[in-house]
């Protein structure tokens, strides 16, 4: 392709905002879907104003759950795969509605859910557990770079610190925001809804989190509730080096009854991977489906080539 057509192609492909893909899992009574948004602009410049510092530079296109994982998803996957995952009893915290985010799940349980997403579709499991259910590191040649937690061939996984951060605080035009609303201004506090520039925080504890698809406005890339609703597990160890099985994992975001500081890009927390908490949930990330970002770029390349003729 001529360079004069390649340049606009690269510019436009780097600005893919949020090509959306729906992935189906399970069957019959145990079937459910997860909505993903594709995060483009590969090789973006890192943010040097948040935490960790630098943060959010991702060299590749990837996808991340538009919403948090729901209780319904966990219950169905557990039933289908015999996963043995337990959820927090939210009776006094807004109730146990199936569309509420799945909380009370340990990092290990979140990893086992993700493994089932992979293996149920014939993909490589992301995380390694021994026959007794103990989390293990992958061996040399089975992982990429220094991330000994994730298998290199996994299709679904927990988001790394950089992947989660970029989806929350990044924007398709390369800007960074202080809050996961595409802006540097604090989103309004709400109990639910989908209005722009809103998030679920500063609510009574008894209210509990909002349903996963009714948990505030979207980030610049089109994800919901990366600010407020529930805290979320991150794949990455808090020290940034995934080389020890039992070390603390990073958590991001704040719960529905948390204060506004938890929504800021400069705030993160951690917990042990065996910790259960009624305010911690998670979302899933993935390599992008061929039907989303890559086909968008291919179609764009074809259109530009036709213009050249």
> What is the DSSP-derived secondary structure letter of residue 290?
I
Q: Has residue 1 been placed in a domain?
A: no
Cα distance from N-terminal residue to C-terminal residue, the chain: 11
CA distance 236 to 254: 18
Q: Has residue 13 been placed in a domain?
A: no
Q: Has residue 233 been placed in a domain?
A: yes
pLDDT digits (tens, 9 = 90+) for 26-59: 999 999 999 999 999 999 999 999 999 999 999 9
Q: Has residue 10 been placed in a domain?
A: no
Q: Has residue 264 been placed in a domain?
A: yes
pLDDT digits (tens, 9 = 90+) for 193-232: 999 999 999 999 999 999 999 999 999 999 999 999 999 9
pLDDT digits (tens, 9 = 90+) for 134-190: 999 999 999 999 999 999 999 999 999 999 999 999 999 999 999 999 999 999 999
Domain count for the chain: 1
Is the separation of the CB atoms in 223 and 159 below 8 Å? no
Q: How confident is the model at residue 19 (pLDDT cuts 50, 70, 90)?
A: confident
Q: Has residue 307 been placed in a domain?
A: no
**CATH number of domain containing 243:** 3.90.1580.10
Q: Which residue has the higher pLDDT, 305 or 20?
A: 20
The continuous run of DSSP H or E covering 81 comes out as: helix 71-81
Is the separation of the CB atoms in 130 and 34 below 8 Å? no
Domain range for residue 34? Answer: 20-287
Q: Has residue 221 been placed in a domain?
A: yes
Q: Has residue 308 been placed in a domain?
A: no
Examine the pLDDT at 2 and tell me if it is beyond 60.
no
């Amino acid at each position: 392709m001529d360079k004069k057509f390649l340049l606009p192609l690269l510019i436009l492909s780097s600005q893919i905002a949020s090509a959306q893909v729906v992935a189906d899992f399970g069957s019959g009574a145990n079937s459910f879907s997860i909505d993903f948004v594709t995060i483009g602009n590969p090789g973006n410049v890192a943010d040097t104003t948040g935490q960790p510092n630098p943060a959010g530079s991702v060299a590749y296109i990837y996808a991340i759950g538009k919403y948090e994982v729901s209780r319904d998803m966990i219950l169905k996957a557990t039933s289908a795969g015999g996963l043995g995952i337990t959820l927090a009893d939210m009776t006094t915290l807004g109730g146990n509605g199936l569309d509420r985010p799945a909380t009370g799940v340990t990092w290990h349980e979140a990893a086992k859910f993700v493994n089932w997403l992979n293996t149920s579709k014939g993909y490589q499991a992301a995380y390694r557990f021994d026959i007794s259910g103990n989390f293990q590191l992958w061996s040399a040649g089975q992982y990429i770079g220094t991330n000994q937690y994730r298998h290199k061939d996994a299709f679904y996984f927990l988001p790394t610190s950089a992947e989660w951060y970029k989806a929350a605080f990044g924007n398709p035009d390369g800007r960074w925001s202080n809050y996961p609303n595409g802006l540097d201004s604090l989103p309004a506090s709400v109990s639910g809804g989908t209005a722009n520039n809103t998030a679920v925080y500063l609510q009574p504890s008894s209210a509990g989190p909002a349903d996963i698809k009714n948990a505030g406005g979207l980030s610049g890339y089109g994800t919901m509730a990366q600010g407020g609703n529930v805290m979320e597990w991150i794949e990455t160890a808090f020290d940034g080096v995934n080389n020890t099985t039992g070390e603390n994992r990073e958590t991001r975001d704040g719960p529905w009854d948390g204060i506004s500081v938890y929504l800021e890009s400069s705030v993160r927390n951690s917990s042990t991977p065996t910790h259960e908490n009624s305010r911690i949930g998670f979302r899933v990330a993935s390599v992008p489906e061929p039907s989303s970002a890559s086909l968008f770029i291919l179609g764009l390349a074809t259109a530009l080539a036709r213009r050249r003729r």
